[in-house]
Homo-oligomer: A and B are copies of this chain.
């Protein structure tokens, strides 16, 4: 299904544009301007003449130019009429922000909207959608003021969300952490286009390297699994399934408007389709980051290298908890490192470079492990607080990472100093994590995805 125009439209109409800075129809207009959107914007509202010095049309048909996408933010009761207007104006794509349908029990109106959209062959994102965001084209129909939520930079992670609030939180975090985003889609009630349609589109989208999803309920499970199976061979799909709460729980029923499915069924289905299941938003973002930045490992044998053995032991425990394996260095590697190192290096797993480790020691250790066939993945637990290590270690790690021989993952925990070094690493394209637990769980996701592919 061609839904490219939702992200690449050049001529956009905002129906329900408003003078009132608090109103959705105003915020969206403002965001498009502030976001430096390069296309043309047309405002529609029968009761306004000008908004921010821009002409307002009484109705869609008054606009001369062809409109590729209409963003509709009018009261629910007016939506049917606006869709009819879109039909007359031959608009094929609409985002409906308006709420007040199925989600508050207004099934009849939702069904009428659905039928009308199908009848007029108009593709719709929504109703009750938070909107769409594309970091490349800067098409931004989110009704979130930029002072409350900045927008993320362009990158490879896309997100389809069945919840506006989860989407907003995700985008806000991505911006803060400086993660690059491709596209964000809030499905709303999925009256017309559903999560599977958007999944299929993102599967073919060149800018999307990783697809994240927040799912409360699948509109059509069979359709979803069929598409997901196909896409997951090309790029990773990471999904959170929310709504373990019982079907009889009224709040979930009211919220999604449909019965909540069973968590177990989803888990099995996800596995079958090689969808990576994340248990939380934090996990989803971590999995997305490691999968975006890291090459496929040959196996699941991890070598931990550290200059802080206690912290290394914590990481080792996480390897066991996540049912991953430890590498056993081959004899050649051990005798080489024994020659290069002083006596107080523990060449086990974790390999302890000791508190007085230098960048040079790390370099030798990483190089030896990259050349050892028994090692599939390197996990570096770098302690900055106690050590003689300085920023130069990151050039070393970045250079090795550039060779793309094996996945290299870094844990950098601590305060301001550690954080600044962490940002450096992130910029150099290395997946790094605040805690060993997060790093190892993410490695598990990396290993699982590639082994099932």
Contact = CB atoms under 8 A, between A and B. Distances in A.
Interface stretch (A7-15, A196-204, A416-424): A416-424
A385 B144 contact: yes
Contacts of A383: 165, 168-169
Nearest to A309: B255
Contact of A164 (B346, B355, B437): B355
B166 A314 contact: yes
A146 to B, nearest CB: 11
A314 B281 contact: yes
Contacts of A386: 130, 143-144, 164-165, 168
A166 B311 contact: yes
A329 to B, nearest CB: 12
A104 B314 contact: no
Most buried by B among A167, A317, A386: A386
A385 B169 contact: yes
Interface string A392-429: 00000000000000000000011111110000000000
A282 B437 CA distance: 9
Nearest to A343: B104
Given A240-B314, A311-B163, A414-B172, A280 B435 contact: yes
A22 B417 CA distance: 18
A312 B169 CA distance: 12
B104 A165 contact: no
A289 B173 CA distance: 22
27 contacts: A148-B387, A149-B414, A149-B415, A164-B386, A165-B308, A165-B309, A166-B314, A168-B383, A173-B413, A216-B313, A244-B316, A244-B317, A244-B321, A245-B313, A245-B317, A245-B320, A251-B346, A251-B348, A251-B350, A251-B351, A251-B352, A252-B316, A254-B348, A255-B346, A280-B436, A281-B314, A282-B435
Interface of A: 22, 104, 130, 143-144, 147-150, 161-169, 171-173, 175-176, 214, 216, 240, 242-245, 249-252, 254-255, 279-282, 306-314, 316-318, 320-321, 343-344, 346, 348-352, 355, 383-388, 413-419, 434-437
